[in-house]
Structure formats: C-alpha cells, structure tokens
Amino acid sequence: MPESDVPREEIDTFQAERPRLVDRLAERFPDVDSVVVAEVVDRTAKATENAKIRSFRAVLVEHAARDELARLSA
C-alpha cells in the first residue's frame, strides 16, 4: 500500500528521525556516552513499537529517552 493510502495515524517516521534524535540527545547530555544515548533511544522505541497512533512515535520516544537520560546524568 503506498504511503499516501496509509491512514495518517499509521505513518511511523521514527526510523527516519532516529539519527537526528540521537544527535540532539547526545548534544543535550554530553556527559552520557553517545552509545548509551543510542541504546536508551532504541530501548524506548522498542517499548512504543505497538503504539496505536504511530505518527507521533518519534516525539514520544524523544521525551521518554530525555527523561531517562536526565536520570542517568544526575
């Protein structure tokens, strides 16, 4: 099914956003190793794989990963 035929809530942009997301979080948390940042992002993303509304998945992953990274860097 072409992406244009997929209901908007089914479009998942996380994989396209992942590199920029990891870079932003690594920049925000310079005291956390970038490998750890990527692991936190991936673990958080895995927990949202079955989300009903996937169009905001990247935003949800970023917020949850940012919270976990803040705890790690404290």
Per domain, the residue ranges of the chain are 9-73
Q: d(Cα 32, Cα 59) in Å, to the nearest integer?
A: 20
pLDDT at 2: 52
What predicted TM-score, i.e. pTM, was given to this entire model? 0.80
Ordered per-residue pLDDT tens for the chain, 74 residues = 455 555 554 567 788 899 999 999 999 999 999 999 999 999 999 998 887 777 788 899 999 999 999 999 88
Torsion sign across C-alpha atoms 15, 16, 19, 22? negative
Contact 41, 22 (CB under 8 A): yes
